Chains A and B, each alone.
Chain A
């Protein structure tokens, strides 16, 4: 079975960049599917952030404008989130998740999540 696991710093200072890794086991991220980042704010609101597809294409939530970048390392079967110029409003639990076909954007496999706090 495919499994996803997030990792990265739990504390980031305001104005810096947030960088997270999603390690995928049980399936090659170049074989198919769409690999997403979703975050959950304190108070439980969920926000889709963006994806990188099996062929390396991206799609981002316009609300994140030019702050977001999702890349991958196919040799390690990992994909990454970078969010620039963070503020305290970026404090959230960050999940990586799989979406099956790039058309029906629901998420059938999730990582356990990693909590990131933005604070000086």
Chain B
């Protein structure tokens, strides 16, 4: 199975900050990467697929980038409603696998 590593399990941010969350695959996943947002008590919500394609309804302050093994999710000007845990997921090979999550907390 491909291992997905999110190096930061959590970090503290301030409202209005630009935030970058990283995800590294154990092998090349050819941009077959999705990002999810999960708030406490809720299911994950798909934000981005194909490493860069924003889902309908997702605010434009979210963006994805990367290639090969290394990918990032960026949030410009963090809003209160963005405080959540973010997961990456590869779907280059089966089984699809998830990163361990990165939790954003307000300073």
Contacts and interface: CB of A to CB of B under 8 A. Distances in A.
Most chain B CB neighbours (cut-off 10 Å) among A46, A47, A59, A108: A46
**Main secondary structure on B side of the interface with A:** loop
Interface residues of A, number: 20
Contacts of A44: 85, 100-101
Given A44-B85, A44-B101, A45-B100, A107 B95 contact: no
Interface of A: 44-48, 59, 61-63, 95, 97, 104-108, 110-113
30 contacts: A44-B100, A44-B101, A45-B98, A45-B100, A46-B89, A46-B98, A48-B95, A48-B96, A48-B97, A48-B98, A61-B95, A63-B95, A95-B43, A95-B44, A97-B43, A104-B32, A104-B91, A105-B91, A105-B94, A105-B96, A106-B34, A106-B46, A106-B91, A106-B96, A107-B44, A108-B46, A108-B49, A110-B44, A110-B45, A111-B43
